[in-house]
Amino acid sequence: MEHRIDPELLAVLPYLPTVDIADPAAFRAAQRARTQPVQRPDGILVEDRVVAADVPVRIYTPKDADRPLGVLVWFHGGGFVFGDVDSSDGSCVATAIEVGCVVVSVEYRLAPEHPFPAGFEDAWAALRWVADNAASFGADPARIAVGGVSAGGGLAAALCLRARAEGGPAIVYQLLDTAVLDDRLDTPSMREFDATPLWNRPQAALSWQYYLAGAEPTAYAAPARAEDVSNLPPAYITANELDPLRDEAIEYATRLIRAGVRVELHHRPGTFHGSNAIPAADVSRRAAADMRRALRAAFEVA
């Protein structure tokens, strides 16, 4: 498989950590030890709060905005098992500055200690809080987007389904970056990639085992199970070529398109799950720039 990896990504492959969630607590501790503090520029305000039903969030607000800004409610990745607001800090800072928007990064509860629907209910509570309180931190409640990477992308997609079902909050855009969408683990890419860097089929299976904990999966847990995907917000969806999650992203995008939802779909050759966060590679820089360009445009037309 290595001959299929982008050369710049291949060069850093030996330095990437091994993701093994067999012992979630141990892996979380190792990940926190690897996380480096982010140097934040002077042009942004960063505030940690606890909102709604005891949900921690980190709010990034560009300074000196002359009007309320669009707001992205963001959910980190980690297979529903690891990750935190610190792991998304750098990307949230960059998004707030480059898009010119507020970013609210959500610290949702993790499995296996807190299986579904705990993390999803935290995500929903945070979204509702943003909609009710946007003006208090310089955001426009009429321009709310949701987004996330990996498991966070799955949460964002599920929020759009619930907001449609419950008549709000109104969401103008959804960013689904290599999202976890389908618990059935039965796409061609999921069957093929059982030994890929950073994330593979065995880890995906274990993460769903932790997250569902034997519960019957619903569309709020696995959005690919939604029978109706019409009347959802416009979407930006990414798929990486050598990612077990590739096909569920492409299939979800195709279903949205057929249902009349506006979708921008990016499939990136030579990439694997998590490679979008490797800033040394040009393909990663282009992925970030494209996503922020699309979000900026969505806020401009909303």
The set of catalytic residues is: 150, 243, 273
| Nearest one of 237, 240, 239, 292 to 262, comparing CA atoms | 237
Q: Annotate 152-188 with DSSP letters as a single string.
A: HHHHHHHHHHHHHHHT-S---EEEEES----TT--SH
How far apart CA 264 and CA 206 sit, in angstroms, is: 30
How far apart CA 274 and CA 259 sit, in angstroms, is: 29
**First vs last C-alpha separation in the chain:** 42
How far apart CA 192 and CA 2 sit, in angstroms, is: 14
74: Cβ contacts below 8 Å, ≥ 6 apart: 88, 92, 95, 103, 104, 105, 106, 146, 147, 148, 152
Q: Which residue has the tokens 């931190």?
A: 137
Give counts: helices (H), strands (E), the chain. 9, 8
Cβ atoms of 235 and 176 closer than 8 Å: yes
